Amino acid sequence: MHLSYSISKYKDKTYKSYAIAESYCIGEKVKKRTIGLIGKLTEVQAKQVQLICKVMEDDSQILANLNDLFNTTTIIIHSFNSNNFLFL
């Protein structure tokens, strides 16, 4: 699981939108499946979500202290597959 993003442009402005995705293989081709859309994030929030994704893949690693992971901003992740919401 990882944090992916897409860049769009509208009226000379550039926008970056984030999503949680996972990689999978079909034969020899590697593909990406979007698990949930997040939307706009600050750079700090994007880094926090990246760290959370790494911990979810391998919880035996210590990646950061709690002050690095949490602040007063809430991030909401919507999962397409199970129609659940994750509040960070």
- Round to whole Å and give the CA distance between 82 and 65: 30
In this prediction, residue 74 has a pLDDT band, given cuts at 50, 70 and 90, of low
In the chain, what percentage of residues exceed pLDDT 90? 23
- How many domains does one find in the chain? 1
pLDDT score of 12: 92
Structure tokens at 4: 């992916």
pLDDT score of 82: 53
| Mean pLDDT across the chain | 76
Q: Which of 7, 8, 33 is nearest to 20 (CA)?
A: 33
- pTM of the predicted model as reported, rounded to 2 decimal places: 0.59
> If you average pLDDT over residues 38-64, what whole number do you get?
76
Q: How many CB atoms lie within 10 A of CB 55?
A: 15
Mapped onto helix, strand or coil, the DSSP state of residue 50 is: helix
Domain encompassing residue 28: 2-87
